Structure 1
Amino acid sequence: MDSLCKKELEIYATKIRMGIIEGTYNAKAGHPGGSLSAADVFAYLYEKEMRVNPKEPKWDDRDRLVLSKGHCAPGLYAALAYKGFFPVEDLKTLRHIDSYLQGHPNMNTVPGIDMSTGSLGQGISVAVGMAKGAKFLGKDVNVYSVLGDGEIEEGQVWEAMMFAHQYKLDNLCIIIDCNGLQIDGPCSEVMSAEPIDEKVKAFGFDVITIDGNDFDDLEKAFDAFHKSNKPFAIIMKTVKGKGVSYMENQVGWHGKAPNEEEYNIAMAELNAKLAELEA
């Protein structure tokens, strides 16, 4: 990846992180930790990977994204807003009464949301259905689904993988955000799913493990997806709370909003990062 492309992605990801902090602070609720860890893949998906049109969110031939870990809606909303699907200023209305930006994605109210999600494990099942539907209709459509490493403790996730293998859904790419932490603590202590790569391979997927906060690695992973003839899985090793110093690798920031002092610190750090990138 050339330096200019990488810088553009880094700027986009930094703005997404700013949107996450803005939204959760104004909501006084939400899930910043896992949203921040996935900010880089959101940036890559919407800037380089997926065929979408912000002016026509329901375009029939668009690629689809299902955020299976739906509590990380603040990250997806920020990615959509900075891509032009709706005004960035609206991120401040997250979770407010009468706001269209609910705590979990709602396809009925938010431009660019392809599926309403929130109950963990169900998003990937919808994604495999979308991928099968595209195959049935003969459409050149790819379907992407972002899951959490805590989420894959749900049995439904593995049932969906069996379906994807059975029906040879090579237009499906699942992305597992392995930040190592879930609401109750480290995934390794709550219910370890390791070795994730070997398990997913056993379910018939091609698999690549990468640093999910590195754009060169993300490019390598999606290039591999396009060369594969099987359902594909990207296992991303990430940092929960990435980009905000006091949130990084802290389980307490799974589902807690910053107060005013914490908001000011986070925004100062992110504004400094953005200024450095745009210099």
Structure 2
Amino acid sequence: MVTTTDSLTVFADKIRYYTLKELGHLGFGHYGGSLSIIETLAVLYGKHLNKHADHPSDPNRDYFVLSKGHGGPALYATLYLKGFFSEDVLYSLNQNGTSLPSHPDRNLTPGVEMTTGSLGQGISAATGIAYSNMLDDRDNYTYCIVGDGELNEGQCWEAFQFAGHHRLNHLIVFIDDNKKQLDGPTKDIIDPLDFVEKMKAFGFAASRVDGSSIQAIDEAVQNAKQVTDKPIAIVLDTIKGQGIPYLEQMADNHHVRLNEVDKQALDESIVQLEQRILGGEQA
């Protein structure tokens, strides 16, 4: 496990690098919502998540559920870096016969705990996992990332109500508030209002952090583990396409089919990330 802010930053750069590489190899895919969760994945898989490729079914492992399944490419890059499969598998993303479909599938992909993509179902499953572990008197944690657009789904709020009622203090939910969804700005589709206050009303301990800050996310997780009587919600203030200015500025960046201009810009971003990774590892 890597534990310092600097080493976690390098890990995040690597996840972003391989996310761009696998999507670039395919030529299209869910760029925006994959990139906005990378710092959170780096903190979880780099420091907090007790789950290892050499014993993935350990009953005392921590669980991670990516409820916003379209962020799958970022999760796949993370799992590759953690040794769950080889690099050549990574570049089979969303192709015939792949074990890496567009959205995660627990029956296909090593390291994936729950099949997700039909929005709302992942948080329901994560809540069930956390409840089961509580009944078995286990101390392991269940982490789940949901999208801000995903929270248009009523199923999510049923799960939150259940989690709050049962005081699932080993359930830590991250809300990726990147302000956009498939059809446009989230506030224009269904205004989410204040996620922190809403989650508190559902019985969660809730806070908002800078979702691009390794240190802020790490501290939020550490604080979450001090809560003993309720589930935890960490609202991530993020940008769709985070960390890649070309994509951040793209109006429609939920799913991108690359043209030649896009390819050139993202190839340049890949080179820049490679240089940053090399510099970070040598520091």
Q: Specify the alignment match of 1:76 in structure 2.
A: 75
Q: What SS does the corresponding residue of 2:266 show, helix, strand or coil?
A: helix
Contact 1:25 1:257 in 2 (8 A): no
Q: What is the rounded CA distance, in whole Å, between the counterparts of 1:29 and 1:58 in structure 2?
A: 33
Q: Specify the alignment match of 2:217 in structure 1.
A: 218
Q: Specify the alignment match of 1:111 in structure 2.
A: 110
Q: What SS does the corresponding residue of 2:140 show, helix, strand or coil?
A: coil
Indicate whether 1:255 and 2:249 are aligned. no
Quote how far apart the aligned CAs of 1:249 are. 4.5
- Residue segments in structure 1 that go unaligned for 5+ positions in a row: none
State the percentage of identical aligned residues.
37
Q: Specify the alignment match of 2:234 in structure 1.
A: 234
Q: Which residue type is aligned with residue 155 of structure 1?
A: G
Q: Deviations over 1:99-128 (max 9, x none)?
A: 111101011111110000001111100000
Q: What SS does the corresponding residue of 2:252 show, helix, strand or coil?
A: helix
Quote how far apart the aligned CAs of 1:258 are. 3.5
Mapping of 1:1-279 within 5 angstroms? Answer: 5-229=4-228, 230-259=230-259, 260-279=263-282
Q: What is the rounded CA distance, in whole Å, between the counterparts of 1:77 and 1:89 in structure 2?
A: 12
Q: What is the rounded CA distance, in whole Å, between the counterparts of 1:176 and 1:250 in structure 2?
A: 22
Q: What is the rounded CA distance, in whole Å, between the counterparts of 2:222 and 2:271 in structure 1?
A: 35
- Residue segments in structure 2 that go unaligned for 5+ positions in a row: none
Quote how far apart the aligned CAs of 1:257 are. 4.0
> Superposition RMSD on alpha carbons, in Å?
1.5
Q: What is the rounded CA distance, in whole Å, between the counterparts of 1:194 and 1:52 in structure 2?
A: 35
Q: Which residue type is aligned with residue 233 of structure 1?
A: A
Q: What is the rounded CA distance, in whole Å, between the counterparts of 2:240 and 2:275 in structure 1?
A: 20
Q: Which residue type is aligned with residue 235 of structure 2?
A: I
Runs of 4+ deviating beyond 3 Å: 257-260
Q: Deviations over 1:177-204 (max 9, x none)?
A: 1111111111111111111111110000
Q: Which residue type is aligned with residue 234 of structure 2?
A: I
Q: What is the rounded CA distance, in whole Å, between the counterparts of 2:25 and 2:59 in structure 1?
A: 34
Q: Which residue type is aligned with residue 167 of structure 1?
A: H
Quote how far apart the aligned CAs of 1:153 are. 1.1
Q: What is the rounded CA distance, in whole Å, between the counterparts of 2:243 and 2:218 in structure 1?
A: 20
Q: What is the rounded CA distance, in whole Å, between the counterparts of 1:48 and 1:69 in structure 2?
A: 22
Q: Deviations over 1:134-179 (max 9, x none)?
A: 0111122210110111111111111100000111111100000111
How many residues matched?
277
Quote how far apart the aligned CAs of 1:263 are. 3.5
Q: What is the rounded CA distance, in whole Å, between the counterparts of 1:78 and 1:194 in structure 2?
A: 32
Contact 1:11 1:277 in 2 (8 A): yes
Contact 1:32 1:257 in 2 (8 A): no
